[in-house]
Structure formats: C-alpha cells, structure tokens
C-alpha cells in the first residue's frame, strides 16, 4: 500500500494564531479519505499547504512522492482541486472557465466534461456573475471531476448543493474511486462522509484527534439501543459498560460499550423482547464525544 | 415600507466606515492646496512679478490647456488671487471630482458586487436608502472640505468672497460628479466599470475645456469643469454659475434614484449577453486570460488617449500664435531648447503619461485583486508557476502601457498634421510618447514588487502615482527642491521633442524596472499565497 499524502508534525502559525499544531495525516493511494473537523479546525490551511500555496513552519509534508512547495508545478499536473469558497471571473461564462482550467492542466476531455455538465444541470453559457453559490460550486466540480488527475482534493465541496445534486456528486466520487483515484474530501457534513469514505481523519484545533476506518472509530465507542420487553427491566443499569440509561413509559434507552453488547443481550433475552432498535454511533456522536461539551464550532 | 426607511442608520454606518478615508481626503486636499497657495504667494509677491507671470501664462498654450483661461490675469495689475487660481484651481476641481467618483462607487456599486448590499437590503432598509445615504455622505464630505478650503484660503490672506467662490465651485463640481457617478453606478454592471465610466467622463470634460480654453472658449461651456472655472474666483465672481452646477447635480442624482428604483439589485441597466458555451481556443493560459480580462480597459484607455492626443495636437499650432509677443517667446524658449510648439507638445505628453500611469498601476494590481478575491489559488493549483502567473499579468500591464502611449503619440501627431498640414511631427511625437513609457514602467514594477513582498501594502502603489502627479503637475507651483523632484522617475526622462532623445536616463529607468521586477519575482516565490 503506497501513500499519496503524508504529513508529520506539521505546524503553521499566522501571526499569533496557531492554525496547525503538530498535525499528522496519512492518505493511502486509491482511497477516499474524509478529512473532518469543525469550522476553523485547520482543514483549509492543510489543503493550502498540500497545494504549495503556503509553506508549513515545521514538520514534514509529502504529496505524491514530492514536496508540495518545491515541486508545485510538476505535482499540480497530477491533481485537481475544488476550493471551498468558489470565486470566478464575473465576465466569463461557466463553460469558458471550465475549459480554461482544463487547458491549464493540459487535460481536456470534452466527452466527460459535457456528460458532467448535463448531470449537474449546469448552464455553461451564463456569466459567472449571475451564478448562485451552488452553480459556482458546480463549475468547480465539473472542472475537477472532468480531469484525469490521479489525486482530487475537495474542500467542503457540497455546501451549496441541493440534496439531488449532492447525490449526483456522491455518484461521481464513487465512480472516480472505482477508477482507482485518490480522493481527499474535507467536510463538516458527516452524513456525506459516512457514505463515501474508506478512512477518516478528524482534526480539531490544528491536531488530528482520530484517524482510521469508520469501523475502527466505532469500536472505540458505543451503540445506542432502545428496547421494550414483556417483563420489567431491572438491574440493566448496573451492568458493566452500560451508560446514559433512561426509562420511558414503556421503553428504555441506553448506550452500551461494544464489548459489553453480548452481556446486555443475555440479560434482556429472558425478559421477552417486544422491540429492539440498535443503531451504530453516527459521526455526530463521535464528534460530540471527541469535543465533549464544548460547542462544535469552538 | 417607504423607500427611504433606515436612511439615518445607513448614513451613520457609512460615516463609521469612512472615518479614516474621509479624513485623509480632507487633509490631503487642503494640505496640497494650502501649500501650493503659500508657495505661489511667496513667488509672486509683487505686482511686477505677477505682471510677468500673467504675460507668460496667457501666452503659454500648455499652461492654458492644463490650468484654464486665467481669469483676472489680463488685468493691468493682476491680483494674488488670480495667480493662485491659475496655479491651483484646476487640480483642486479635478480632486473634488475624483473624490466623489471613488467614494460614491465604494458605497454603492462596490457593495453590490461584494454581496454585502444583499445583507443590508434584507434588513428593514428602504430600497433607495443606501444610495441616498451614500450620496448624502459624499455631498457632506464635499461641503466639509469646501468649508475647510474657504477658511484656509482666507487665512493665507486672500479675499473672503473669492475664497468662498473658489471653494463653492469645487463643491459644486464635486456634487455634479456625485450625480454622474450615481448614474454610472446604476448603468454599469460592476464597480470597476462604474468607476471607469465616471472617470472617463471627467477626462472628456477636461479635454473639452482644454480645447475650449485655448480656442474661443465656447467648447468650455460644454464642460462642468469649464463652468466651475467660470465662477471666476478672485476675478469679479459670477455667482449664478454655481446655480448651474447645483441644478445639474440635483438633476443627475434624481435620474440615478429613478434608475435605481427600476433595476434589480446587482444588475446593471445595460443587459448582459449570454456567454460562450466553450472557451475560444486562444484562452489557453494566464497570459490569454489576463488579456481577456483587461481587453475592455485597454480599449477604453486606448480610445481615450488617442482622442486626447488628437485634440492636444490639433491645438498645438496655436501655441505659436499665443506667444507672438517676442519678449514672452524668449521666456518660453528658455524653458526648453526646442520651439514653443515643441515644448508645448513635450509638456502635454508628460502630463498625459502621468495620467496614463493610472492604467499601468491599476493593471499591475490586478493579480493582487485576483489573489484577494480567491481566484488566484485555483489557478496556482494547476501546473502554472507563481512567477509565470505574476509576469503574465505584468506583460499585459506593460504591453497595454506601450499601446495606449503609442496611440496618444499617434493621436497628437495626426491632430497636429490636421491643423498644420505638416505630418512631420507624427514620428517625433510617437517617439516622445514611447519615451514616456520608461518612467511609467518603473511605477508598474514598483506595484509588482509590493505584490511580491508585501501584498497587504500593494495599495501604496497608488500613493506612488499620487506623488509623481504632485511632483509633475505642482512641482513648480510648490517650488519643490530638486532632490524632491528627483524622487519621480518622470523628472529624469528627456522631454522629446523639445530636447533630443537621451539613452542614458531611459536605460537607467529600465534598469530600475528590471531590479524591481527581480524583487517581485523573488518575493512571489517565497511568500504564502493568501
């Protein structure tokens, strides 16, 4: 397994603001890697370092086997980028901008481009000044997705898209992943990441707080359960590994550490289970646990 | 809700935004006019000195084109006020007009481009309140500067009535340009085009009255700049002309309000055609894009410079007729080595070059705007190196500078040939115009160096333009010491065709340009792109 992106102990400071504080990040070749974090965590700064637009103060950065600062031009032939806040030339049409970027990369596949324009329902003749945020984002997406780049870096690419377009975006990402391309997808939209990604890195205040596959992350956490039984449930709250136990009129809710699930099921089995709903933790819950009681945008 | 609801809030808001900017305009305008007036008063303290000045000024076509008809100079004993006006009046009026253009666009069209206007309009603010508040604030700023100016001129010892007339004419012209800009802000589809349309209107008014003042004076009545001068401060003031300025200002602002009520937020009156589905094959790199983005402004400047050059050339032969008095001709001859016509043309070319430096610097600052607005990062994330990106923009700035100056020289040559039948000045004037490119590029390279090293300070490049303009236009008036004049690259360039071409200063200016470009190249390769 080779590595497409690797950062070790990266530090970046702007004036008195510590944007990255010893960040580690590893993206393997051919995977869809989610880069999750709240606003201001340092996601965009990381991406700007990967693009060679800014240089880290300390730490080691490697991108596609090169140094993103020193080898910027050569590396950029092999990657495509979708910025989070898409700003376009107001007098140019969307079609002109898409073609311009394709030519800058020397990589214009008109069939693929036309297909994407159709799927995203973009009017390429409109001037960029008249595009909405979502349409500007579509221009950037068509630009990046119509390329044959081996690495695609997307910075919160769907924040302006409607749910229908988001589905199309997810299809496109799956297609690209099936072609063996590497995708780094930064986001704070957890549901989107859950459906698409092989592995996840969670960043907070300039540091990676967790990294691994989704199931890796989940084993370290709990499962939520809602149960109702014929016999009254007693003693469950005293079991090892059961948390947040709460009793309703005819249901009980609790969370259970995954290693303790078997013991809980044995306890419930004798009580005549009428219904049982069990749900793996969402990334929201992972997030909340990571960030504790602090507000998510802190 | 009434269309003007929230006017008070909006007015306080723009006042808050412009605390510093407004103060800088106030201090700069009053400071420069005051210093100029004091300098003129010390240079021409006696009646005899003023008589000589008046003889030369009324005979010098270049001075007339720049300064105006010189009301009161024809008197047997010209007053101090008349001489001061001939030296400072025109610049002051132009400054009032430019201030109104920049400040009004900033609070109207620029807000819409930046999507901030949407936030404001979504608040309980009437549709016309932002425009009305912006207009009121800029008008207020004009009046405050006018009051300061009238006081300053009185304090240095000039008659009260004339000082009030001078300040009032400046304010009147400023208000006319509040009106003109309010209209262009509705008609244009971007802040840039609103600003350039209003500035081009000012340029056209300047040329109209320059041609009018050298000729019979009739054309000057087509220009509000001519009206402002016709108030004749310190020379038998004609107060009624102020009414003309004020009525025009009110009519224009009323028209702007009407237009504003009829259009959608963010849209212009002029419709936008749909664009191309696919890019032209020529749009294949940063150079092509920079050309495409600046096409409009190069064409605009080129046409403006061609027409201005034509008229300045057309009236050149009148320079000789004005100076038919031998004594005066001798004084003028001492200024340059060439003929009176040649020194007139050389001076005009210098003045046009200083104005056109506005193009050079604004064009060179484009990449900074691209970076600030977030359009540079996606381009630099493709296989385009930073240096190439910056220098492709620089190539357009430099090429555009060559082109518009060539058109200016060509226009002057054709104009001269039209009125005299002598086509022999076409090549010398082209040479003159192109010689002027070397100091212009120094300022462009200065802007590039700022972008490379201190992008946050790149607006200082405009201060550079202001400094060379003050030195070029007011160096004599302010009686600046030579070392101060030497700061401006324009001081060193040979004034062809009045003096022969000299390679050394041009080569030195080119060397400075290259050095500054080197600083830009090193800077852009080593800094963070923001």
Across A53-67, B182-196, B232-246, B367-381, least confident range: B182-196
Contact B375 A126 (CB under 8 A): no
Does any domain span residue B64? Answer: no
Radius of gyration of chain B (CA): 24
Does residue A164 carry a pLDDT above 80? yes
Q: Distance from B278 to chain A by nearest Cα, in Å? A: 5
Q: Which residues of B touch A89 (CB under 8 A)?
A: 289, 293, 375
Look up the domain containing B407 and give its range: 283-530
Model pLDDT, residue B84? 94
Model pLDDT, residue B28? 92
More confident residue, B306 or A223: B306
Strand-strand pairing, A32-36 and A182-187: parallel
Residue where a domain terminates, one of B212, B235, B269: B269
Q: Are residues B216 and B330 in the same domain?
A: no
Structural domain count, chain B: 2
Q: Which residue of A has its CA nearest to B369?
A: A89
Confidence of residue B101 (pLDDT cuts 50, 70, 90): very high
Does residue B242 carry a pLDDT above 50? yes
Q: Are residues B220 and B308 in the same domain?
A: no
Tens of pLDDT, residues A102-158:
999 988 889 999 999 999 999 999 989 889 889 999 999 999 999 999 999 999 988
Q: Distance from B195 to chain A by nearest Cα, in Å? A: 17
Q: Which residues of A touch B190 (CB under 8 A)?
A: 90, 129
Does any domain span residue B351? Answer: yes
Confidence of residue B334 (pLDDT cuts 50, 70, 90): low
Across B56-65, B72-81, B357-366, B374-383, least confident range: B56-65
Confidence of residue B270 (pLDDT cuts 50, 70, 90): low
More confident residue, B112 or B73: B73
Model pLDDT, residue A295? 41
Contact B380 A89 (CB under 8 A): no
Tell me, yes or no, if A244 comes closer than 8 A to chain B by beta carbon: no
Residues A78, B381: Cα–Cα separation, whole Å: 10
Compute the half-sphere exposure of residue B9: CA atoms within 13 Å on the CB side of its CA: 10
Tens of pLDDT, residues B51-83:
988 888 888 787 888 888 899 998 899 999 999
Model pLDDT, residue B451? 97
Does any domain span residue B389? Answer: yes
Q: Are residues B456 and B423 in the same domain?
A: yes
Does any domain span residue B71? Answer: no
Contact A101 B378 (CB under 8 A): yes
Q: Which residues of B touch A106 (CB under 8 A)?
A: 383
Does any domain span residue B438? Answer: yes
Query: Among A34-48, B214-228, B503-517, which range has the highest average pLDDT?
Result: B503-517
More confident residue, A171 or B477: A171
Q: Which residue of B has its CA nearest to A103?
A: B284
Contact B279 A96 (CB under 8 A): yes
Residue where a domain terminates, one of B203, B234, B269: B269
> Torsion angle of alpha carbons A151, A154, A158, A159, nearest 10°?
180
**B416-428 average pLDDT score:** 91
Are A217 and A197 in contact, with CB atoms under 8 Å apart? no
Model pLDDT, residue A296? 41
Does residue B121 carry a pLDDT above 60? yes
Confidence of residue A283 (pLDDT cuts 50, 70, 90): low
Compute the half-sphere exposure of residue A42: CA atoms within 13 Å on the CB side of its CA: 28
Residue A231: C-alpha distances to residues A224, A247, A263, A272, B413 (Å): 21, 14, 18, 7, 106
Residue B203 C-alpha from the chain's centroid? 8
Residue A137 C-alpha from the chain's centroid? 17
Does residue B272 carry a pLDDT above 80? no
Does residue A255 carry a pLDDT above 90? no
Contact B379 A104 (CB under 8 A): yes
Tens of pLDDT, residues B145-186:
999 999 999 999 999 999 999 999 999 999 999 999 999 999
Confidence of residue B325 (pLDDT cuts 50, 70, 90): low
Model pLDDT, residue A147? 93
- Chain B residues whose C-beta is within 8 A of a chain A C-beta are 113, 189-190, 272, 274-280, 283-286, 289, 292-293, 373-375, 377-386, 528-530
Q: Are residues B209 and B292 in the same domain?
A: no
Q: Are residues B117 and B94 in the same domain?
A: yes
Q: Which residues of A touch B283 (CB under 8 A)?
A: 96, 99-100, 103
Model pLDDT, residue B156? 94
Residues A127, B215: Cα–Cα separation, whole Å: 47
Contact B283 A99 (CB under 8 A): yes
Q: Which two tokens stand for residue B139?
A: 């008008």
Q: Distance from B375 to chain A by nearest Cα, in Å? A: 6
Q: Which residues of B touch A101 (CB under 8 A)?
A: 378-379, 382
Q: Which residue of B has its CA nearest to A128?
A: B275
Does residue A298 carry a pLDDT above 60? no
Q: Which residues of B touch A100 (CB under 8 A)?
A: 279, 283-284, 289
Q: Which residues of B touch A51 (CB under 8 A)?
A: 377, 380-381
Does any domain span residue B525? Answer: yes
**B358-384 average pLDDT score:** 94
The answer to whether the Cα torsion of B183, B207, B100, B161 is positive or negative is negative
**B87-98 average pLDDT score:** 94
Tell me, yes or no, if A127 comes closer than 8 A to chain B by beta carbon: yes
State what percent of residues in chain A have pLDDT above 70. 92
Q: Which residues of B touch A72 (CB under 8 A)?
A: 380, 385-386
Q: SS3 of A30, please?
A: coil
Residue B13, H or E segment: helix B7-17
**A162-186 average pLDDT score:** 93
Does residue B416 carry a pLDDT above 70? yes
Q: Are residues B265 and B340 in the same domain?
A: no
More confident residue, A36 or A292: A36
Confidence of residue B137 (pLDDT cuts 50, 70, 90): very high
Q: Are residues B207 and B299 in the same domain?
A: no
**B186-206 average pLDDT score:** 89
Confidence of residue A204 (pLDDT cuts 50, 70, 90): confident
Q: Are residues B358 and B494 in the same domain?
A: yes
Q: Distance from B407 to chain A by nearest Cα, in Å? A: 26
Residues A35, A37: Cα–Cα separation, whole Å: 7
Does any domain span residue B184? Answer: yes
Confidence of residue A212 (pLDDT cuts 50, 70, 90): confident
Q: Which residues of A touch B292 (CB under 8 A)?
A: 92
Q: Which residues of B touch A54 (CB under 8 A)?
A: 528-530
Q: Are residues B255 and B294 in the same domain?
A: no
Q: Are residues B299 and B261 in the same domain?
A: no
Tell me, yes or no, if A190 comes closer than 8 A to chain B by beta carbon: no
Q: Are residues B119 and B193 in the same domain?
A: yes
Model pLDDT, residue A81? 96
Q: Which residues of B touch A90 (CB under 8 A)?
A: 113, 190
Q: Which residues of A touch B274 (CB under 8 A)?
A: 93, 125-127
Model pLDDT, residue A272? 86
Does residue B427 carry a pLDDT above 70? yes
Beta strands (DSSP E) in chain A are: 3-14, 17-28, 32-36, 58-63, 79-82, 151-155, 182-187, 199-204, 207-213, 222-229, 242-247, 252-257, 273-279
Model pLDDT, residue B481? 93
Q: Are residues B447 and B530 in the same domain?
A: yes
Does residue A290 carry a pLDDT above 80? no
Does residue B41 carry a pLDDT above 80? yes
Model pLDDT, residue A293? 46
Contact B279 A127 (CB under 8 A): no
Domains and CATH numbers, chain A: 3-217 (3.40.50.300), 222-280 (3.30.70.260)
Q: Distance from B304 to chain A by nearest Cα, in Å? A: 23
Contact A54 B528 (CB under 8 A): yes
Residue where a domain terminates, one of B231, B247, B269: B269
Question: Across the A/B interface, how many CB contacts are shorter than 8 Å?
Answer: 106
Rounded to the nearest integer, the mean pLDDT of chain B is: 90
Model pLDDT, residue B337? 58
Residue B6 C-alpha from the chain's centroid? 34
Among B378, B388, B523, the strongest candidate for a mutation testing the A interface, having the largest count of A CBs within 10 A, is B378
Q: Which residue of B has its CA nearest to A49?
A: B528
Does any domain span residue B314? Answer: yes
Q: Distance from A245 to chain B by nearest Cα, in Å? A: 46
């Amino acid at each position: 397994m080779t590595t497409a992106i690797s950062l070790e102990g990266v530090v970046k400071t702007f004036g008195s603001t510590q944007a990255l504080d010893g960040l580690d990040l590893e993206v393997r070749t051919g995977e869809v890697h989610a880069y999750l974090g709240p606003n201001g965590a340092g996601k965009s700064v990381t991406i700007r370092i990967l693009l060679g637009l800014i240089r880290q103060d300390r730490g080691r950065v490697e991108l596609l086997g090169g140094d993103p600062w020193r080898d910027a031009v050569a590396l950029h032939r092999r990657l495509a980028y979708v910025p989070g806040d898409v700003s376009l030339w107001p007098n140019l049409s969307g079609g002109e901008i898409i073609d311009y970027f394709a030519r800058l990369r020397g990589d214009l596949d008109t069939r693929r481009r036309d297909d994407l324009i159709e799927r995203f329902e973009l009017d390429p003749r409109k001037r960029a000044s008249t595009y909405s945020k979502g349409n500007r984002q579509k221009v950037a997406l068509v630009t990046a997705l119509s390329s044959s780049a081996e690495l695609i870096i997307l910075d919160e690419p769907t924040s302006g898209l409607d749910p229908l377009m988001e589905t199309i975006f997810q299809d496109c990402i799956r297609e690209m992943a099936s072609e063996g391309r590497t995708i780094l997808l930064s986001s704070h939209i957890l549901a989107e990441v859950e459906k698409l990604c092989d592995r996840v890195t969670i960043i907070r205040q300039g540091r990676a707080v967790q990294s691994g596959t989704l199931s890796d992350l989940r084993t370290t956490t709990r499962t939520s359960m809602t149960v109702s039984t014929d016999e009254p449930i007693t003693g469950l709250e005293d079991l090892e590994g059961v948390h947040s136990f709460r009793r309703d009129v005819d249901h009980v809710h609790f969370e259970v550490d995954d290693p303790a699930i078997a013991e809980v099921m044995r306890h419930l089995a004798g009580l005549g289970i009428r219904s049982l709903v069990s749900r793996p933790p969402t990334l929201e819950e992972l997030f909340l646990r990571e960030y504790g009681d602090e507000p998510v945008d802190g | 809700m009434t269309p003007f609801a929230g006017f008070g809030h909006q007015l306080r808001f723009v006042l808050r935004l412009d605390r510093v900017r407004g103060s800088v305009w106030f201090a700069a305008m009053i400071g420069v006019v005051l210093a100029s007036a004091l300098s003129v008063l010390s240079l021409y303290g006696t009646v005899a000195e003023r008589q000589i000045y008046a003889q030369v000024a009324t005979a010098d076509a270049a001075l007339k084109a720049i300064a105006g008809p010189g009301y009161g100079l024809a008197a047997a004993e010209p007053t101090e006020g008349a001489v001061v006006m001939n030296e400072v009046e025109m610049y002051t009026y132009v400054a009032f007009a430019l201030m109104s253009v920049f400040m009004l666009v900033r609070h109207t069209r620029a807000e819409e481009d930046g999507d901030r206007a949407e936030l404001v309009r979504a608040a309980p603010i009437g549709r016309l309140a932002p425009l009305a508040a912006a207009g009121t604030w800029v008008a207020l700023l004009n009046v405050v500067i006018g009051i300061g100016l009238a006081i300053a001129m009185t304090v240095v010892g000039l008659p009260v009535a004339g000082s009030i007339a001078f300040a009032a004419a400046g304010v009147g012209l400023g208000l006319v340009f509040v009106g003109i800009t309010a209209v262009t802000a509705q008609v244009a589809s971007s802040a840039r085009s609103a600003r350039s349309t209003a500035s081009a209107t000012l340029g056209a008014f300047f040329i109209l009255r320059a041609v009018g003042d050298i000729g019979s004076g009739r054309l000057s009545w087509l220009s509000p700049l001519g009206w402002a001068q016709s108030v004749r401060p310190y020379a038998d003031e004609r107060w009624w002309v102020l009414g003309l300025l004020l009525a025009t200002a009110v009519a224009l602002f009323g028209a702007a309000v009407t237009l504003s009520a009829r259009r959608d937020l963010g849209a212009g009156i002029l419709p936008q055609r749909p664009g191309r589905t696919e890019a032209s094959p020529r749009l294949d790199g940063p150079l092509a894009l920079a050309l495409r983005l600046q096409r409009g402004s190069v064409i605009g400047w080129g046409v403006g410079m061609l027409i201005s050059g034509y008229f300045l050339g057309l009236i050149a032969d009148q320079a000789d007729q004005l100076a038919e008095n031998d004594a005066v001709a001798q004084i003028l001859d001492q200024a340059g080595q060439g003929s009176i016509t040649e020194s007139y043309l050389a001076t005009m070319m210098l003045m046009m070059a200083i104005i056109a430096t506005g193009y050079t610097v604004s064009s060179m600052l484009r990449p900074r705007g691209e970076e600030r607005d977030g359009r540079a990062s996606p381009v630099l994330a493709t296989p385009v190196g930073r240096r190439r990106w910056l220098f492709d923009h620089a190539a357009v700035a430099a090429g555009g500078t060559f082109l518009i100056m060539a058109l200016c020289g060509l226009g002057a040559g054709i104009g001269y040939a039209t009125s005299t039948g002598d086509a022999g000045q076409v090549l010398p004037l082209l040479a003159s115009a192109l010689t002027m490119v070397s100091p212009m590029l120094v300022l462009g390279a200065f802007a590039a160096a700022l972008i490379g090293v201190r992008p946050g300070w790149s607006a200082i490049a405009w201060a550079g333009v202001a400094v060379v303009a003050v030195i070029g236009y007011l160096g004599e008036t302010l009686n600046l010491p030579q070392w101060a004049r030497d700061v401006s690259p324009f001081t060193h360039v040979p004034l062809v065709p009045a003096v022969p071409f000299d390679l050394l200063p041009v080569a030195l200016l080119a060397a400075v340009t290259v050095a500054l470009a080197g600083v830009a190249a090193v800077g852009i390769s080593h800094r963070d792109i923001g």
